[in-house]
A and B are shown apart, each in its own frame.
Chain A
Amino acid sequence: MVATSAVSGRRNLCQAHPGRRGSRHGVARRHLGFGMTQLSPPLIGLEQVTLRRGGRDVVRDLAGSFAPGTLTAVAGPNGAGKSTLLLAMCGLLPVASGRILRGGMDPRSIALLPQEGRLDRSFPITCRDVVALGWTARLGLFRKIGREHYAIADCALASVGLDGLGSRSIGALSAGQFQRVLFARTIVRDAPVILLDEPFSAVDATTEADLMAIVRLWHRQGRTVVAVLHDLDLIRAEFPQTLLLGPGLLGSGLLGSGLLGSGAHVWGATNEVLTATAIRQARLRASVPPRMEIPGGSPSGTSMRSASDPPVEAAA
C-alpha cells in the first residue's frame, strides 16, 4: 500500500545521517533525525479552558492534559470547537477564561498544520519554497535560508513522495499532493508538539496511508501529536487517545445534564471514549433534526458509526 520512492539527486546530503537506504521510510528516518536536540515535549495542560469565537462560547470548561509523546485524536460534530482548540493551543487565539499550560515552552514551538481550505494555492510559489519556509519558525523571519536548509527541504519532499516536484508551482498540485507538501513543511519545522487540523479531509486513501506513516513516525520519535479527525475508524485503528468534544451550548436543553460530564467533553483512551452511547449522545446533542436520522445507517457510510452499533433510536 505504501510505495517506495528512490531518493534522487540529494543522496550525498541525506547520507550525512546514517540509516537504511532504499525505502522512503529509511529516508524519512534519516533526515528526520536532524536537529532533534531537545525533543522532549512538555505536558500541555488545559485548566477549565473556555474559548469564544464570533461572540459565543464554542468550547466550555475544558480540562485535561496532553501527556508528552501521546498521539491524540480530537473528534466531535461540526461546530464543537476542534479547530478553535488547536488555534488556542498554539497561542494564536486567546482563551476567554481558564489557562493553557505549556510547561514554559514557547508557543511558537508548536507546529500547526491548518485546514486544507485556508491556504491560498493561487500564490505563485514553488513546493520547494513552501517547504523551505518552514525553516522560518526556527530561523526567524530575517535570517537567510541557505543551501543546507533547502537540501533538508528537498529531503522532506522526498520523504512524502514528492521527490522531483520541488520546482512545481503549488497551484498545479492536486489536493493530495498539496497536503503532502504541507506535511513536508511540518517535517522541516521539527517541532516537539504537532497539531493537525483535519489533515486527511480532502485526500485519497493512498495519500492518507502514506501520511499516516509519517504521523506514526512522529509518535515513535516522542513528539506529542494531536489531530482533528472525522473518520472514527481511523481514530480507532491508529490513535490511542481521543478527546471527544461535545457541541458546547448547541442544543443544551435537549437532554438531561450529567450524561457525559461537565461541558460534554470526554477525554481518555480511545476504546473507552468512543463508545456507541457517547457517539450517539454527541450527535444528538448537536440537534440533528429527527427526520435526518436514518435507522440502520447514515448515508455517509461509516463516518460516525461502527458496524457493532445498535440501530439509532429517535431523539428522546
Chain B
Amino acid sequence: MRRALAGCFALSVAAPPLGVFLVLRRMSLMSDVLQHGVLPGIAVGAAVGGLSVWAMGTGGMLAGLAVALLAGWFARRTGMGEDSQLAGLYLVALAAGVALISAQRGVDLTHLLFGSVLAVDNTALLAMAAAATLTLPVLAVIWRPMVLESLDPGLPGGAMSASGNGGIWHSSFLALVVLCVVSGFEALGTLMSVGLMMLPAIAARHWSGSLAGQVSVAVVLAIAASLLGLLISFNVEIPAGPAIVLTAGGFWIVSLLAGPREGLLRPRNR
C-alpha cells in the first residue's frame, strides 16, 4: 500500500505536466490511444519474460512508441488525418493485446487491465520512480521548444529551425507520454493509467490561465487524487485504478462546476 502510494506520487509529479501540454495541443485523446496501444507489448513482454515489470514495461514502451510513430508516418504518407490512423492502429493493438493475454494461462487479465495495489512490489515502485526521474529533466529541457511548437504548430521553433527539427521535440514528448503510461500500469492498470495524466490537467484549466499555473494545479490535484483514491480502494475493496481515476474525476467535476475560470456555474461575464 505504501509502495503504491509512493509510486503514484512519483507518477503524479511527472505525468500531469505532460497532460497539460496534451490538452493545450488538443491531443487529449492521444493519451487514451497510447494507453490501449501498449497492451500487446505488455502481453508479449509477459509471454517472453514472465510477469516481470521490466519485460512487460519494455514491451509496452515499444508497442506504444510503434503506435504513435507509425500513425504519424501513415498520416504523412497517405495524406489522411493522423487521428484516423491512430484510431485504426490502437483498435488493432487493443484487440491483439486482449487476445494475446487471454490466450496465456496464469495471467490475470483483470489485474492487467485494472491494476492492483498489491501488485506494486519494489521493482514496480522502482520503475515508476525511474520514469518520473527521467521525465522531469527531459521535460525541462524540451519545455521551451514545446512552447514554441505549440504556439506555432506550422513553424517548428518559431521559424528557427530549417525543415524538420520540430519533429524531434514532438517525438521526445510522445516518448515521455508512453513512458508515463507504461510506468503506471502496474498500479493503475492499462485501462486507466492515463487517468492521473489527463484528469488533473483538464481540471487545472479551470483554476489558472498561465502554463506554469496549470501545471502546478494539475500536480497538486494528481497527488490528492492518488492519496484519496488509494484510501478509498483500500477500504471499499475496489481496484486501485478505478478508485484513483474516479477521485480525480470527482475533482474535475468540481472544478468544472465551480472553478474560477470557464466554469459551468459561474455567471457568464464575457
Do A123 and B144 contact each other (CB < 8 Å), given the known contacts A92-B163, A112-B159, A114-B159? Answer: no
CB nearest neighbor in B for A115:
B154
Beta-carbon contacts under 8 Å, B74-111 to A: none
- B153 CB-CB contact with A under 8 Å: yes
Comparing B1-9, B118-126, B209-217, B219-227, the segment that makes contact with chain A is: B209-217
Q: Does B162 contact A114, Cβ atoms closer than 8 Å?
A: no
Partner of B157 from the list A120, A124, A125, A136 (CB cut-off 8 Å) is A136
CB within 8 Å: A-B pair count: 74
- A312 CB-CB contact with B under 8 Å: no
- B150 CB-CB contact with A under 8 Å: yes
Q: How near does chain B come to A93, taking the closest CB pair, in angstroms?
A: 7
Contacts of A126 in B (CB 8 A): 210
Q: Does A93 contact B153, Cβ atoms closer than 8 Å?
A: no
- A18 CB-CB contact with B under 8 Å: no
Do A91 and B163 contact each other (CB < 8 Å), given the known contacts A125-B147, A136-B144, A142-B141? Answer: yes
Q: Does A123 contact B24, Cβ atoms closer than 8 Å?
A: yes
A130 to B162 CA separation, bound complex (whole angstroms)? 20
Q: Does B144 contact A125, Cβ atoms closer than 8 Å?
A: no
A118 to B152 CA separation, bound complex (whole angstroms)? 7
Q: How near does chain B come to A141, taking the closest CB pair, in angstroms?
A: 5
A119 to B148 CA separation, bound complex (whole angstroms)? 10
Q: Does B209 contact A114, Cβ atoms closer than 8 Å?
A: no
Q: How near does chain B come to A142, taking the closest CB pair, in angstroms?
A: 7
- B72 CB-CB contact with A under 8 Å: no
Beta-carbon contacts under 8 Å, A92-117 to B: 92-94, 107-108, 110-112, 114
Main secondary structure of the interface of B (DSSP, over half): loop
- B155 CB-CB contact with A under 8 Å: yes
Contacts of A111 in B (CB 8 A): 159
Contacts of B263 in A (CB 8 A): none
Q: Does B210 contact A124, Cβ atoms closer than 8 Å?
A: yes
Q: For chain B, which range describes its interface: under 10, 10 to 19, 20 to 34, or 35 or more residues?
A: 20 to 34
CB nearest neighbor in B for A134:
B158
Contacts of B150 in A (CB 8 A): 120, 123
Q: How near does chain B come to A248, taking the closest CB pair, in angstroms?
A: 20
A177 to B159 CA separation, bound complex (whole angstroms)? 21
Q: How near does chain B come to A183, taking the closest CB pair, in angstroms?
A: 14
Do A93 and B163 contact each other (CB < 8 Å), given the known contacts A125-B211, A136-B144, A136-B148? Answer: yes
Beta-carbon contacts under 8 Å, B7-28 to A: 24
Q: Does A120 contact B210, Cβ atoms closer than 8 Å?
A: no
- A184 CB-CB contact with B under 8 Å: no
Q: Does B152 contact A108, Cβ atoms closer than 8 Å?
A: no
Do A94 and B209 contact each other (CB < 8 Å), given the known contacts A112-B155, A123-B150, A142-B141? Answer: no
Q: Does A136 contact B154, Cβ atoms closer than 8 Å?
A: no
A90 to B145 CA separation, bound complex (whole angstroms)? 19
- B161 CB-CB contact with A under 8 Å: yes
Q: Does A124 contact B24, Cβ atoms closer than 8 Å?
A: yes
The number of chain A residues with a CB under 8 A from chain B is 27
Beta-carbon contacts under 8 Å, A71-85 to B: none
Q: How near does chain A come to B223, taking the closest CB pair, in angstroms?
A: 22
Q: Does A92 contact B151, Cβ atoms closer than 8 Å?
A: no
A92 to B157 CA separation, bound complex (whole angstroms)? 11
Q: How near does chain A come to B154, taking the closest CB pair, in angstroms?
A: 5
Q: Does B148 contact A133, Cβ atoms closer than 8 Å?
A: yes
- B265 CB-CB contact with A under 8 Å: no
- B236 CB-CB contact with A under 8 Å: no
Q: Does A119 contact B161, Cβ atoms closer than 8 Å?
A: no
Q: Does A90 contact B159, Cβ atoms closer than 8 Å?
A: yes
Binary interface encoding of chain B residues 137-180 relative to chain A, with 1 for a CB under 8 A from any of its CBs, else 0: 00001001101101111110111111100000000000000000
A119 to B214 CA separation, bound complex (whole angstroms)? 21
Do A123 and B209 contact each other (CB < 8 Å), given the known contacts A90-B159, A91-B163, A93-B163? Answer: no
- A169 CB-CB contact with B under 8 Å: yes
Binding site for A on B (CB under 8 A): 24, 141, 144-145, 147-148, 150-155, 157-163, 208-211, 213-214
A/B interface sample: 6 pairs, CB < 8 A:
A91-B162, A120-B150, A122-B24, A136-B157, A137-B160, A142-B141
Binding site for B on A (CB under 8 A): 90-94, 107-108, 110-112, 114, 118-120, 122-126, 130, 133-134, 136-137, 141-142, 169
